[in-house]
Amino acid sequence: MSDALDKIQQRVLPVHACERLPIRECLDRVNNEAVKSPHNVPPLPNSAMDGFAVAIGSLAQGEVTELEEVGTAFAGNPFNGNCGPGQCVRIMTGALVPEGTDAVIMQEQVEFTETGKIRVDSDHRVGENIRLAGEDVVQGEIVIDAGARLSPADIGVLASLGIGQLQVKRKPVVAFFSTGDELVSIGEKLEPGKIYDSNRYSLHCMLSRMAVDVIDLGVVKDEPAAMREVLENASKRADLIISTGGVSVGEADYIKPALADLGTTEFWKIAIKPGRPLTFGQIDASIFMGLPGNPVAVMVTFSQFVVPAIDALAGAKPRRPALFRARALDAMRKKPGRYEFQRGIATLDDNNQWQVAKTGKQGSGILTSMSRANCFIVLPDENDGVEAGDEVQIQFFDWSL
């Protein structure tokens, strides 16, 4: 498993081309160059509260002081006058801290006198309720690394710096197709022995959640010539080509020669279930990943291997899925020597601890085991079965699933 991930990291090279885009269009795209802040955020000290700006020096120690209000500072509309001894300025959240003041006292902590003055005690300190210049970002600081996948917060940070456009890597282009003489498309008649092609739909949807351009190449017959044709065509258009099916004993025979003619291939027998056979190859500059045919295996291998490959292509830092500990509610049979991804439903128990149940039958063709699940129950190589009550690790379905 980790060998395959290492190989993907080594073999898959990032796209070079970049484009400059308005920041709103940069969501989920990969930042090309580290972004340094052109100025401090906030640029100047401002109030974190609605209240009164005062000079702490003008408060009498241990006593209540009366201060005269000499004006108001609004957010975006500063108080430009002078605030001297015995005076204060009414101030709103986000307003610049007026000259001559060094603290903001919350509205709730002052009393009003009949003569319109305010009364405050001396229990306050310099800097109280003031956001300092550069408190969020200091000028020159790197705020977004090269290779970062841009999140909504990143886009907000760019806006807070007044940056309207950003250079990002171009989107990788991903082409995919299904193989199998038994497959028919939705709308076609289901003759005996035929099944509807579901992989193209789940693949299309998983890819749609990633920042890639998608090309659906349809269903390809189990014939060497058809395979060769589609691969040749795809390699001219896509950075990554994904196929499903055609890797059972006997069938692999027509992927192998087609790939061998056009480029290079490796067959990886990864010790995982579901999803053991994975074909990895290269045709010119395109990467080829041949996923198994079984619909659950497609989704497992996509989440574990295709997502890292797309990240590498996109020039993004690898993301590692987070594992959580959970108590198994069901027993699970498992042989040591392979990594298993059972499908589970995780919930919190009365003590706020994760517990996880299996989603019924776990065959790699049973797609409802995925659609009913919210996580994988990850059973490592050495695991030789689980009793109800045992601790297991779970991996919540993430951005792609």
Residue 369 contacts ligand AMP per CB under 6 A: no
CB nearer to ligand AMP: pick between 244 and 301: 244
Which CB, 298 or 326, lies closer to ligand AMP?
298
**Which partner from the list Mg ion, ligand AMP, none does 199 bind, CB cut-off 5 to 8 Å by kind?**
ligand AMP
**The token pair that represents 126 in the structure block:** 């310099």
Report the first-to-last Cα separation within the chain, whole angstroms: 19
Please tell me the distance from the alpha carbon of residue 188 to that of residue 196, in angstroms, as a whole number.
Answer: 9
Residue number, 293 or 295, with CB nearest to Mg ion = 293
- By beta-carbon proximity to Mg ion, the closer residue of 98 and 180 is 180
Q: Which long-range contacts (CB under 8 A, 24 or more apart) does 80-86 make?
A: 83/53, 83/55, 85/55, 85/57, 85/58, 86/58
Q: What are 192's two structure tokens?
A: 């005996």
Check binding of 362 to ligand AMP (CB under 6 A).
no
CA angle 148, 289, 182 (to 5 degrees): 135
User: What whole-number distance in Å separates Cα of residue 245 and Cα of residue 181?
Assistant: 10
Question: Which residue, 78 or 180, has its beta carbon nearer to ligand AMP?
Answer: 180
Cite the beta strand spans of 195-294 per DSSP E: 195-196, 213-220, 240-244, 264-269, 272-273, 277-283, 286-291
Euclidean distance between CA atoms 65 and 47, whole angstroms: 21
Q: How far is the CB of 223 from ligand AMP (least distance, A)?
A: 13
Nearer to Mg ion, 118 or 217 (CB): 217
Which of Mg ion, ligand AMP, none does residue 294 bind (CB under 5 to 8 Å by kind)?
ligand AMP
CB of 303 to ligand AMP, least distance (A): 17
Q: Which does 71 bind (CB under 5 to 8 A by kind): Mg ion, ligand AMP, none?
A: none
Instruction: State yes or no: residue 289 binds ligand AMP (CB under 6 A).
Output: no
| Nearest distance, CB of residue 299 and ligand AMP, angstroms | 11
Among 286, 311, 290, which residue's Cα sits nearest to residue 301? Answer: 290
Q: Are 222 and 255 in contact (CB under 8 A)?
A: no
Of 295, 308, 315, 344, the one binding ligand AMP (CB under 6 A) is 295
Of positions 180, 274, 290, 308, contacts Mg ion by CB under 5 A: 180
Closest residue to ligand AMP, judged by C-beta, is: 293
Contact partner, 95, from Mg ion, ligand AMP, none, Cβ < 5-8 Å per class: none
Contact call for residue 100 and Mg ion (CB under 5 A): no
State the nearest-atom distance from the C-beta of 227 to Mg ion, in Å. Answer: 11
SS3 160: helix
Within positions 128 to 187, which residues make up the interface with ligand AMP, using CB under 6 A? 178, 180, 182-183
d(CA 341, CA 375): 9
The answer to whether 245 contacts Mg ion (rule: CB under 5 A) is yes
Judged by beta carbon, residue 213 or residue 251, the one nearer ligand AMP is 251
Q: Do the beta carbons of residue 260 and residue 288 sit within 8 Å? A: no
Buried b (16+ CB within 10 A) or exposed e, 214-228: bbebebbebeeebbb
Is the Cβ–Cβ distance between 22 and 164 less than 8 Å? yes
By CB under 5 A, tell whether 315 contacts Mg ion: no
* Tokens read off for 127: 């800097």
Per CB under 6 A, does 198 bind ligand AMP?
yes
- List b or e across 166-178, with b for residues whose CB sees 16 or more CB atoms inside 10 angstroms: bebbbbbbbbbbb
Selected from 51, 78, 172, 292, the binder of ligand AMP by CB under 6 A is: 292
Amino acid residing at 382: E
| 290 counts as binding Mg ion under rule CB under 5 A | no
Q: Give the total of residues touching ligand AMP (CB under 6 A).
A: 19
**Residue 246, interface with ligand AMP (CB under 6 A)?**
yes
Which C-beta is closer to ligand AMP: that of 178 or that of 301?
178
Q: DSSP per residue over 308-321, as a string?
A: HHHHHHHTPPPP--
Q: How, if at all, do strands 195-196 and 277-283 pair? A: unpaired
Residues that bind ligand AMP (CB under 6 A): 178, 180, 182-183, 195, 197-199, 244-248, 251, 292-295, 365
Site of interaction with Mg ion (CB under 5 A): 180, 245-246, 293
